[in-house]
């Protein structure tokens, strides 16, 4: 039996295996972030598949942190009840669940979330969405730290098994770490220690609220390279992770990329991506001019994405390996890992201790069970249709072939419950 199915601990949290459902924004809450039955059903299926650890989609805590409507929010105590229903449901199946807490910073279209401005470390233009944020004041930074901690405490009160601090993908914490987006000259910018200050303050504020035993884990880029701009190198990011391990982080998940680096965290097939984004996805809220310019340039944009962010199996393993060598806490790798051979090879080579997957769970919520039983389930081909619709439509696989496989699977595995609507699962 593969090591994938052997127990492992994150801090004191015991997991039945080494597979994680990585954060995928669900777009299944109420507009303002209350948990719905639809969202609970979505996670119940993944838990039924025996998935050892589920990480929720990015969860916001105030208007500025919110990236898209219908995402989970932990901005108020009245959200605890819904979060508790979610945790209790997942726990019925011996699965564990952590909430990913983030602040979207400059990576959000403002109109869909009802805002007119965006916060960031510095006023650096975000080219893919056309957002020029404003630099946060010291008071706003301090306020965000407290709100991150409030949200973590609510998750703990709801019975969640831990919290993942999102320090990757160019969102607020990541943009404090990266010199291109952090041009501050005060104690939050400049030196390595100063750029880490915000992450350290968030971590310590959370820790003070949740106590020593509650696992706080980190999602971090393995490479922060931005074309022609000052991103962090893998060795710098390993240094960040090492420091966070010393502070008490219980595990790290390795990814890579930002919106403006051709979304390399979503390496896959980009054919038709730009057109779909403008007509069915977040591009619908762009200005007429921006949308039509993008449509006009779509063959070039798709071509560039296919060149820069081409799929390969386990596309972040080369970074994860360097973190695994440096750290003692479990290193989780996400990115193009859904096939048993590539998973086994990664574990055998000790590139990482745990495997995480996002799109493959959208295609097949029973992925872990199928891997364990050596059975063929609906297989993700990384077409990126789920990603194109993220934050606009409820999360679902948009690939007809994969959905047909899934309906067939439901007919065989649970004949009475078969639904012909792929997004119902």
Ligand X SMILES: Cc1cc2nc3c(=O)[nH]c(=O)nc-3n(C[C@H](O)[C@H](O)[C@H](O)COP(=O)(O)O)c2cc1C
Residues forming contacts to ligand X in the complex (CB under 6 A) are: 22-25, 57-58, 100, 166, 169, 219, 255, 265-266, 334-336, 357-360, 386-387, 390, 395
- Nearest approach in angstroms of CB 23 to ligand X is 3
| C-alpha to C-alpha distance for 225 and 334, rounded to whole angstroms | 18
Give residue 311's region: left, alpha or beta (phi > 0; psi -120 to 50).
Answer: beta
- Nearest approach in angstroms of CB 31 to ligand X is 17
> How many beta carbons lie within 10 A of that of residue 30, not counting itself?
13
Using alpha carbons, select from 136, 201, 171 the residue that is nearest to residue 57. 171
- Nearest approach in angstroms of CB 377 to ligand X is 15
Residue 224 has phi, psi (to 5 degrees) of -115, 20
By beta-carbon proximity to ligand X, the closer residue of 190 and 394 is 394
- Nearest approach in angstroms of CB 46 to ligand X is 13
Tell me the three state secondary structure of residue 151. Answer: helix
First to last CA, the chain: 29
Half-sphere exposure of 72 (CA within 13 A, CB side): 33
- Nearest approach in angstroms of CB 137 to ligand X is 27
| C-alpha to C-alpha distance for 380 and 357, rounded to whole angstroms | 11
- Nearest approach in angstroms of CB 368 to ligand X is 13
By beta-carbon proximity to ligand X, the closer residue of 25 and 54 is 25
By beta-carbon proximity to ligand X, the closer residue of 189 and 377 is 377
By beta-carbon proximity to ligand X, the closer residue of 57 and 189 is 57
- Nearest approach in angstroms of CB 210 to ligand X is 20
By beta-carbon proximity to ligand X, the closer residue of 79 and 219 is 219
By beta-carbon proximity to ligand X, the closer residue of 22 and 324 is 22
- Nearest approach in angstroms of CB 394 to ligand X is 10
By beta-carbon proximity to ligand X, the closer residue of 336 and 377 is 336
Q: Do residues 129 and 180 lie in contact, with contact meaning Cβ atoms separated by under 8 Å?
A: no
- With b for 16 or more beta-carbon neighbours within 10 A and e for fewer, the 310-345 pattern comes to ebebbbbbebbbbbbeebebbbbbbbbbbeeebbee
> What are the C-alpha distances in Å from 404 to residues 287, 307, 331, 408?
36, 30, 35, 6
DSSP 5: G
By beta-carbon proximity to ligand X, the closer residue of 32 and 381 is 381
Strands 331-334 and 216-221: unpaired
- DSSP lists the bridge partners of residue 354 as 332
């Amino acid at each position: 039996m593969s090591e994938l199915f052997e127990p492992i601990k994150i801090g004191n949290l015991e997991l039945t295996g080494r597979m994680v459902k990585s954060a995928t924004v669900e777009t299944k809450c109420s507009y303002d972030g209350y948990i719905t039955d639809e969202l609970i059903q979505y996670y119940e299926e993944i838990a039924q598949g025996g998935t050892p650890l589920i990480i929720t989609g990015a969860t916001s805590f105030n208007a500025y942190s919110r990236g898209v409507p219908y995402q989970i929010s932990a901005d108020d105590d009245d959200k605890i009840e819904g979060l508790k229903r979610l945790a209790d449901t997942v726990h019925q199946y011996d699965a564990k669940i952590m909430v990913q807490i983030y602040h979207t910073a400059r990576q959000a279209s403002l109109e869909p979330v009802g805002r007119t401005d965006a916060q960031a470390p510095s006023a650096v233009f975000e080219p893919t969405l056309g957002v020029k944020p404003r630099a946060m004041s010291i008071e706003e930074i301090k306020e965000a730290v407290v709100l991150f901690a409030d949200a973590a405490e609510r998750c703990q009160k709801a019975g969640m098994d831990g919290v993942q601090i999102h320090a990757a993908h160019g969102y607020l914490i990541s943009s404090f770490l990266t010199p291109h987006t952090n041009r501050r000259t005060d104690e939050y910018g400049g030196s390595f220690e100063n750029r880490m200050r915000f992450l350290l303050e968030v971590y310590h504020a959370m820790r003070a609220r949740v106590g020593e035993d509650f696992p706080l884990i980190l999602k971090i880029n393995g490479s922060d390279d931005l074309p022609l701009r000052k991103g962090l190198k893998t060795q710098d990011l390993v240094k960040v992770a090492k420091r966070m391990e010393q502070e008490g982080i219980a595990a790290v998940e390795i990814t890579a990329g930002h919106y403006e680096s051709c979304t390399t965290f979503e390496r896959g097939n980009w054919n038709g991506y730009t057109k779909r984004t403008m007509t069915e996805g977040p591009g619908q809220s762009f200005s007429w001019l921006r949308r039509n310019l993008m449509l006009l340039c779509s063959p070039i944009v798709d071509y560039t994405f296919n060149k820069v962010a081409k799929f390969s199996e386990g596309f972040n393993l080369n970074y994860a390996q360097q973190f695994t060598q440096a750290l003692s806490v479990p290193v989780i790798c996400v990115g193009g890992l859904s096939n048993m051979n590539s998973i086994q090879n990664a574990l055998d080579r000790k590139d990482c201790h745990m495997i995480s997957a996002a799109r493959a769970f959208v295609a097949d919520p029973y992925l872990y069970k199928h891997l364990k039983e050596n059975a063929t389930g609906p297989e993700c081909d990384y077409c990126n249709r789920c990603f194109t619709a993220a934050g606009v439509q409820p999360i679902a696989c948009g690939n007809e072939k994969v959905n047909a496989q899934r309906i067939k699977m439901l007919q065989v595995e649970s004949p009475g419950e078969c639904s012909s609507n792929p997004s119902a699962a």
